[in-house]
Amino acid sequence: MSSAPSWTPERTTEPERAAGLIAAVAPELRGVPVVPLSEGWDNTVFRVGDWTARFPRRAMALPGFRRELAVLPVVAARLPLPVPEPRWTGTDDDPADPWPFAVVRFVAGSELAEVAPPDAAREPAAAALGSFLAVLHAPATRALVDGVDLPVDPMRRSEPVARMAQTRAQLAALAGGGLWSPDPAVDELLRDGARLPAPSGEPVLVHGDLHVRHLLLDDDLGAAGVIDWGDVCLADPAVDLALGYAAFAGPARAALLDAYGGVGAERELRARCLAVRLSALLAGYAAADDRPALLAEALAGIGRAVV
């Protein structure tokens, strides 16, 4: 079995290759500089003028990438924050196994994890995110994608017990590396979450992987957009609300929940447990990839999840 981290790319795309592929589907972009923008777990991203080109990096990301291309054109106009709506799509030039790629709307802004504003300055972004999630999770939005074959919580993120062993292992690894000090409040939260049954409510349309790298902020620290929709699915709202407990606390979280419309105790517990899991996962990735700003934000997210 390979010892490579799970985020190691299986397919890379260099700017020169990307430029040729983009020009083939969007001739009007021929000659526009193709500038590396970011590399996430699932995609290599380039800036192309007023657009962004996204190329999958791992085979396991392909089904979600295709679902994203089906969902975003249908819901983008309804959502109150910008999202990377696809404009052109194509396949790469691998003769044995061509993978899809897309040229999408450029969403300006910086990752919340990179900006890392003080908690007291996060209220405007939190309120905007609450309004965004209220629309995304509304039955009318789900109705727009009735014709898209979407799985129901395929990663079981709304069920704390489903990933409890991995969550505790991630926390133990952080503690063993001297990055995090075990917190009894986190242990108590996870014990409570492990007792929850699977959600029984009607699933809603969710982003599916909403964390501090996927919420963008503008220069005034307001919410600028929501990116990386490769895990879009149907699930309990807790799957997205986890960001409310990882990235926000105090008045900022209150503003988010007020804009969203309130969250019941059981859903809150699910969201808090997922906030711990995603924060621990991001912290491990940040430590391995030498991303100190992300590491600090992710570790802070573990603490926010229990306050």
The residue behind tokens 């995110």 is 129
**Strand spans (E) along 49-160:** 51-56, 86-91, 100-105, 110-111
| Domains of the chain, CATH where assigned | 15-105 (3.30.200.20), 110-304 (3.90.1200.10)
What would the pLDDT profile of 188-203 be if each residue is shown by its tens digit?
999 999 999 999 999 9
The CA distances from residue 206 to 86, 235, 236, in Å, are: 18, 6, 8
What would the pLDDT profile of 250-273 be if each residue is shown by its tens digit?
999 999 999 999 899 999 999 999
Q: How many CB atoms lie within 10 A of CB 252?
A: 24
Residue 74 in tokens: 């249908």
3-class DSSP state for residue 124?
helix
Sign of dihedral through CA atoms 172, 176, 177, 183? positive
Looking at the chain, the whole-number percentage of residues with pLDDT higher than 90 is 92
Residue 233 in tokens: 């699915």
- Report pTM: 0.92
What is residue 6's predicted lDDT score, i.e. its pLDDT? 58
Sign of dihedral through CA atoms 39, 76, 238, 117? positive
User: Roughly how many angstroms between the first and final C-alpha of the chain, as a whole number?
Assistant: 39
Q: What gap in Å lies between CA 269 and CA 31, rounded to an integer?
A: 51
The enclosing H or E element of 160 equals none
